[in-house]
Chain A
């Protein structure tokens, strides 16, 4: 599924990284715990998280994740946008809960990591 379809499904907003809208998403991982994200070995996945701080972006950078959806109406900061931009990431804000956003994506065919 393309990122732009996910943005539509989740009624979400792209904050930075519009150039990633056409890229494909096969798998996603939902977590607020960055320690858990750092243990995932799968490549090219999308992260859904309610944790909006600079370490979310750093964790994604180290984990080779370049697509992040911030759920539960969390707002990304200017510092996060700057770091995401440096690393060619797309940051998306979504008002849905993690459960709802994950459920919609799962139902639409996005695969879980495990």
Chain B
């Protein structure tokens, strides 16, 4: 199954709508509840990152019986040092993002924690690509 969602940079009122829709889809597919939580927490963190840092983005999702693959591509400032961004506690988030309860430098580490494979590539001044894979436990 293939799905695509658009993400609007800066629009916190819509942040999480793609994750919410994916959660409903995975429930309908009878995916194990713990797997659903791993997937939607990882995607929600990534979605918030796009809203917090980028101008716009697209989420591309492919699901089969064994796994889910999610690609998040954004147009934005990109990440200067990915190793640093992966470190817990490092953040370049704005005050607004922090007021929303995020920006503590925990997003990417938490995505890594909830996925079986995570790849982050970025070009400064152009944007960032996040690819994540989660194998279903059953």
Contact = CB atoms under 8 A, between A and B. Distances in A.
Main secondary structure of the interface of A (DSSP, over half): helix
Nearest to B48: A55
Contacts of A22: none
Contact of A63 (B12, B37, B102, B113): B37
B20 A61 contact: yes
Contact of A53 (B20, B45, B100, B106): B100
Interface string A28-44: 00001111111101010
Interface residues of A, number: 22
B106 A62 contact: no
Contact of A39 (B20, B44, B113): B113
A38 B104 CA distance: 12
Interface in A42-57: 43, 51, 53-56
A39 B110 contact: yes
Interface of B is mostly: helix
Nearest to B37: A64
B101 A56 contact: yes
Interface string B1-31: 0000000000011011001100100000000
Given A34-B100, A39-B106, A61-B23, 19 more contacts: A33-B101, A35-B45, A35-B102, A35-B103, A35-B106, A35-B110, A37-B101, A38-B45, A38-B106, A39-B110, A41-B37, A53-B99, A53-B101, A54-B12, A55-B100, A61-B20, A62-B41, A63-B37, A79-B13
